[in-house]
């Protein structure tokens, strides 16, 4: 199962990106095709957690579910808290833990830098 491969990897962010983000994708906008909020599920939530985990200031978790290499497809309270921290250091207001508008654009830009898309 792919989650076991991610947990065993030493280069977690890049392995997660390789597993979840298709190199054939046209742009980073494809990685966040919708607004996201607590309770949502899907591949785009995994992309969100991977992007948040790429910066120590917005890590979802340091160990376990949501941590680098153990990203999940569920947008829970820890992901929402990480989004609030991300919004804070990016100067996005309101810092409400929801992914839309300026937050979504910033995440798309950051993920494009990570993946080289």
pLDDT digits (tens, 9 = 90+) for 79-104: 999 999 999 999 999 999 999 999 99
Q: What is the pLDDT of residues 51-76, one digit of tens each?
A: 999 999 999 999 999 999 999 999 99
Residues paired with residue 84 on neighbouring β-strands, in sequence order: none
Whole-prediction pTM value? 0.78
Closest of 92, 107, 102 to residue 46, by C-alpha: 107
Q: How high is the pLDDT of residue 27?
A: 58
Instruction: Answer whether residue 21 shows pLDDT above 90.
Output: no
């Amino acid at each position: 199962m792919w989650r076991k491969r991610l947990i065993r990897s030493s280069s977690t962010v890049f392995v997660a990106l390789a597993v979840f983000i298709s190199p054939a994708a046209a742009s980073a906008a494809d990685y966040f095709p919708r607004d996201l909020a607590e309770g949502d599920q899907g591949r785009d939530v995994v992309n969100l957690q991977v992007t948040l985990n790429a910066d120590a200031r917005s890590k979802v978790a340091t160990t376990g579910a949501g941590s680098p290499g153990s990203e999940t497809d569920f947008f829970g309270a820890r992901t929402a808290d990480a989004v609030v921290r991300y919004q804070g250091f990016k100067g996005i207001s309101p810092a409400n833990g929801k992914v839309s508008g300026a937050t979504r654009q910033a995440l798309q830009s950051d993920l494009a830098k990570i993946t080289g898309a």
